[in-house]
Chain A
Amino acid sequence: NAGVTQTPKFQVLKTGQSMTLQCAQDMNHEYMSWYRQDPGMGLRLIHYSVGAGITDQGEVPNGYNVSRSTTEDFPLRLLSAAPSQTSVYFCASSLGQGFGEQFFGPGTRLTVL
């Protein structure tokens, strides 16, 4: 199993550009989530999904969209990038709602100029 994969590993955007961060898992996990981590801080939950077709907001959802058309994929879209969105983005998955052991991807380092 590849586990949780994220692409790209690094990305530089200009203010106002849009892009999609990709996340995929091959463990047949129902629950997937996106976090951002700013320098020197803990992770903050952006959006999560409890299964295909179902998504909900986390702690810091503004400026981001998600969709879950398949169990495997959970892309995160930045609608109009802002410098405040410069961060490291982590995707995670777990078996389901009742399972707290989350598996994290390696992260995407995003810089918005």
Chain B
Amino acid sequence: DAKTTQPPSMDCAEGRAANLPCNHSTISGNEYVYWYRQIHSQGPQYIIHGLKNNETNEMASLIITEDRKSSTLILPHATLRDTAVYYCIVIYNFNKFYFGSGTKLNVKP
């Protein structure tokens, strides 16, 4: 499974868009990109996933580059409750999810 690289932390002003990058340069054609987040010490929460096309749901948007070597998770209007660790996961074998260290997003008032 492809390895992912994420910045360890990012800051975002409340009400602004939060753009979280993820590099996955070794991704193969049938591997999906998943995003989860973990608020404080709770269990992780699924956000969104995609294969090739950009995706949007009620929580976020996922932008995948044309070569699929990187992606960006966008929270359109970040709130204080979005402060969390965000994990980018690239997976083909759904039996083996590997969570890295993620990006700690700090939303500030």
Chain A residues at the B interface, C-beta cutoff of 8 Å: 4, 31, 33, 35, 40-45, 48, 50, 56, 58-59, 88, 90, 92, 94, 97-107
Contact = CB atoms under 8 A, between A and B. Distances in A.
Contacts, number: 61
21 contacts: A4-B43, A31-B94, A44-B98, A45-B98, A48-B96, A50-B95, A90-B44, A92-B43, A97-B94, A99-B94, A100-B32, A100-B46, A100-B49, A100-B94, A100-B97, A101-B49, A104-B44, A104-B45, A105-B43, A107-B41, A107-B42
Given A44-B98, A100-B94, 16 more contacts: A4-B43, A33-B97, A40-B101, A43-B97, A44-B99, A45-B96, A45-B97, A48-B96, A58-B96, A59-B96, A88-B41, A92-B44, A100-B46, A100-B49, A102-B44, A105-B43
Interface of B: 32, 34, 36, 41-46, 49, 87, 91, 94-102
Contact of A41 (B36, B95, B101): B101
